[in-house]
Amino acid sequence: MASYGMGEVERILGLPASTLRHWERELGLLSPRKDQFGRRRFTVSDIRLLIRLKHLALDRGLGLSTAGRVLVDELGSPQTEARARIAQLRGEFITLYFASVESRRVLDGRPSSSKI
The set of long-range contacts for 5-8, using a CB threshold of 8 Å and a minimum separation of 24, is 5/39, 5/40, 5/41, 5/42, 6/39, 6/40, 6/42, 8/42
Query: Do residues 100 and 71 both lie within one domain?
Result: no
Each residue's pLDDT tens digit in the chain (116 positions)? Answer: 678 899 999 999 999 999 999 999 999 888 899 999 999 999 888 988 899 899 999 999 999 999 999 988 887 777 767 767 776 777 788 778 768 878 988 898 877 554 44
pTM to 2 decimals?
A: 0.65
Per-residue pLDDT at 81: 72
Query: Do residues 83 and 72 both lie within one domain?
Result: no
With CA atoms as reference, report the closest residue to 27 among 5, 6, 53: 53
Residue 114 lies inside a defined structural domain of this protein: no
Per-residue pLDDT at 80: 67
The backbone torsions φ and ψ at residue 39, rounded to the nearest 5 degrees and listed phi first, read -85, 140
* CA–CA separation, 112 and 102 (whole Å): 7
Which structural domain, as residue segments, surrounds residue 19?
1-76
Residue 55 lies inside a defined structural domain of this protein: yes
Query: Do residues 4 and 48 both lie within one domain?
Result: yes
